[in-house]
Amino acid sequence: MNRNEQLARRVIDCFYPAGELRDLLWTHSRAVADKVLNCLKKRNMAGIDPGTAELAALLHDIGIIRTDAPSIHCHGTLPYLAHGMAGAAMLRPLGLYLCADVCERHTGSGLTAKEIRDQHLPLPARDLTPRTAVERLVCYADKFFSKTPGRLTEEKPLEKVRAQMERFGTASLDRFDALHREFG
């Protein structure tokens, strides 16, 4: 286990008892982190520190335990969409500010204040699109993996991801396509 994995495991273990949900979170997060590292290798991006991006990927979904999503073993009270905000609130007291921002800004291809308002989403109506390169990269890589038990490490084909983004509107797909041009 590398140092990022050790730190991420320690943080996850603070909030997650051993069991199916913790295993699911870890497998999903590792798949996303592997894609993040592969994108960086392929593009040879000097501006992004791979270690920082890996740690952020390993922690981006830590908030799911606070949500109500029984099909993936989450028995909290928040709507699933709020898992990014919940994760940020869990990580900030630990001083993991950069990872907290990644949590908050990775949902879909990001969400604008207008989308949150217009669609009455259960989130604060402020800009939640990914800003930094690390935020954008983790958001992008995450879209290729579902949390369906049994299919956690199966990378979705690009066209399937694009179709899923389009369901949330053309602006959502446009943002994803921009991420794909940057990292794909």
Near Fe ion by CB under 5 A, which window of 92-100, 117-125, 136-144, 159-167?
Answer: 136-144
The least distance separating Fe ion from the CB of residue 60, rounded to whole angstroms, comes to 6
Q: Rounded to an integer, what distance in angstroms lies between the CA atom of residue 58 and that of residue 7?
A: 10
Q: How far apart are CA 41 and CA 43, in angstroms?
A: 6
**Region 61-90 residues binding Fe ion, contact defined as CB under 5 A:** 61
Whichever of 15 and 44 has its CB closer to Fe ion, that residue is: 15
Count of chain residues binding Fe ion (CB under 5 A): 2
CB of 105 to Fe ion, least distance (A): 12
Closest CA to 24 of 155, 154, 147, 156: 147
CA distances from 14 to 42, 69, 85, 118 (A): 34, 20, 18, 36
**Interface pick for Fe ion out of 101, 115, 135, 142 (rule CB under 5 A):** 142
Question: Does 135 participate in binding Fe ion (rule CB under 5 A)?
Answer: no
Residues shown for the chain: 184
Residues that bind Fe ion (CB under 5 A): 61, 142
